[in-house]
Each structure stands twice: as structure tokens, then as C-alpha cells.
Amino acid sequence: MTKLNIPFKRPLFPPSFKGENTVRGDDILAVKRMVSRAGFWPWGQFDDVYWERFSQGDKNRLGRPIKGREGVKGLQRKLRIKPVSGYYGKGTHNGSLLLKVPEGKPHSGEFVWDQTAINLYKGYEDLSPAESIVKDIFYWWNYLVNREPSIHYSQARPITILRQNKRPPIIPNYLDCSGTFIACAWLAGAMAPDPWYQYNGAGYTGSLVNGGIKISEAEIDKYCKTHYVGLFYGSSIWNTTHIVAAESSNKIYSHGKEAGPEIIRNNLHYHTRPLIAIRAYPVI
């Protein structure tokens, strides 16, 4: 029997799994695409998070799986993988390499692994735990940027996303610059950048300046892969009016007005106030 050659990368667990940090990456996009082509998840714009819902599938009011929304568990039942756990292991992966798209569906008869899924899966880069968390932080920044009309500017405390304790967060929501900076670290499971308030929702720009280590503008790209880098604007470090997150020296994320959150490219000095400090926060 013909079988594709796609070496297994890693086990995938939903975010609630208390073990390895293995819940985000292009390989997850590939698996979602494959499971959808196999008929166990709706086709759509997939994200790169191994959500519990995708792992376990959707159920009706009687607690029975909904056809076409069975997720990884549905794929495992098809493959007769035991236990039917919803976690993506080597057995599930190897079994999927034999599957074809069911009759009556677009691309019927083709392998469920199309070339796009293969390229995404093989292109997965193994990241260190710190690199993975930093990547997650900016996943959440992008998540909020892409929902900008429903993310309103407000300096209210405690920070609403932290108080709601939901991943993904409840939308619409209300945040300011420091609130968004803190919330994205929390959503990614990073160590709190605020040494005073941690994640109790009371943090602000003035409390963030006490955390992390001071770095120069020339060191941003050195630190931003493994640290959460924040840029402070104002008349002095103790009179900070704005903070942004730097994914690199060429790309920063800001939420300082109702039209935010937003991405600013190639302009670290975009703000009307001077850039007066840069700090790099350990994430683990």
C-alpha cells in the first residue's frame, strides 16, 4: 500500500496538558489541514494552536460527537488508534499517512496530506522553551491586532483579560499599553514582567520599569528571541507615558490609542515622546 514519507516531529497536546510546551507551530497548522481534509474538522482559516476543542472534538447536547467536527479523536477512531485520547502521537501520525480524502469531498481520492500540509509540517523549527514562549507572546499580540475594532483603549484596573482568566481572551476587551504588554505575557505563560504586581491586574508602566534588565537599542535583536523586550517612552524613566513590545528592532507592537493595538515597522522612535529606556524580561 502506498504511504507518504513524512517523519514524525513531536507529540501534540492541548494547552491544558501540564507537561511539555508543545502547543504551537506550523506543524499544528499542517495537522489541522490534514484532519480537515480527512473529514473530521471544518475547513477554514486555521491558527497554529493545538486547542483542546480541536483535540477532543465538538459534541451535541446529548454528549455525542458531531459529524465533521470530531477533531483528532475522530481521526483516531477512524484509524483504530487506542487510546482515543485526542493527543497527536506517532501512531496517529503514521496512520494518517495512508488516508485518502473521502468520496464526495473536494479532492476526493488524494492523500489527506496535501503538499501545503507537508511543507508546513516538515518546516517546523525546534525552539527552546524560552523561544517558544516569546513566539507565543507575539502570537497573542497579533491575535489582538487582528481584532482591533473590538479591543478598546482604557486605563481601567484591574486588567480585564487577567480578571476574566480565559484563553483565548473574551472579546471585546479593554486595555491600555502596559495592560496589553502584561496580558500578552500572561496569555503565553511567561514569567511576569512586573516584579511589583506580578499578574494581579494592577500593573502599569511605572511598575514595569523595575523588572528585567536594561539593554541598549543595538541589543534588541540579541535579546528579543529569548526575552520579552519592552520600549519605554516619556520624559524620564519615572515619567513613562507609553510602553511597546519589540518583536525585533524593525517590528514593534503598540496599544496607546483607540485605533490600536497596531504594528509599527522600522521606526523605534515613532512616538512623540523620546525613547528613554529598553528592558528585556526573562520569560522562564
- Which range is least confidently modeled, 33-37, 118-122, 217-221? 118-122
Q: Which domain holds residue 69?
A: 26-122
The answer on 187 and 98 residing in a single domain is no
Confidence band of 173 (pLDDT split at 50, 70, 90): very high
Average pLDDT (97-121) is 93
The answer on 135 and 36 residing in a single domain is no
Phi, psi of 201 (to 5 degrees): 90, 0
pLDDT in tens, 84-103: 999 999 999 999 999 999 99
**What pLDDT sits at residue 165?**
86
Is 240 within the bounds of a domain? yes
Is 1 within the bounds of a domain? no
User: Of 34 and 23, which is predicted with more confidence?
Assistant: 34
Locate 258 and state its grid cell: 483607540
Domain boundary pick from 91, 122, 153: 122
Is 17 within the bounds of a domain? no
The answer on 217 and 102 residing in a single domain is no
**Mean pLDDT value across the chain:** 92
Confidence band of 15 (pLDDT split at 50, 70, 90): low
Q: Which residues, 6+ apart, have CB-to-CB distance to 80 below 8 Å?
A: none
Confidence band of 13 (pLDDT split at 50, 70, 90): confident
Domain boundary pick from 92, 122, 152: 122
Of all residues in the chain, what percent carry a pLDDT higher than 70? Answer: 95
Is 7 within the bounds of a domain? no
The answer on 146 and 100 residing in a single domain is no
pLDDT in tens, 175-215: 999 999 999 999 888 999 999 999 999 999 999 998 999 99
Is a pLDDT exceeding 80 seen at residue 1?
Answer: no
The answer on 192 and 233 residing in a single domain is yes
Is a pLDDT exceeding 60 seen at residue 241?
Answer: yes
Domain boundary pick from 122, 144, 166: 122
The answer on 200 and 174 residing in a single domain is yes
Is 88 within the bounds of a domain? yes
Which CATH number belongs to the domain containing residue 219 in this structure? 3.90.1720.10
The answer on 134 and 110 residing in a single domain is no
Provide the number of structural domains found in the chain. Answer: 2
The answer on 134 and 30 residing in a single domain is no
**What pLDDT sits at residue 19?**
43
For residues 250 and 265, the answer to whether their CB atoms sit within 8 Å is yes
Provide the H-helix boundaries in the chain.
Answer: 26-37, 52-56, 71-79, 90-96, 115-122, 129-145, 160-164, 177-187, 205-208, 220-223
Average pLDDT (161-186) is 93
Confidence band of 68 (pLDDT split at 50, 70, 90): very high
Q: Which residues, 6+ apart, have CB-to-CB distance to 82 below 8 Å?
A: none
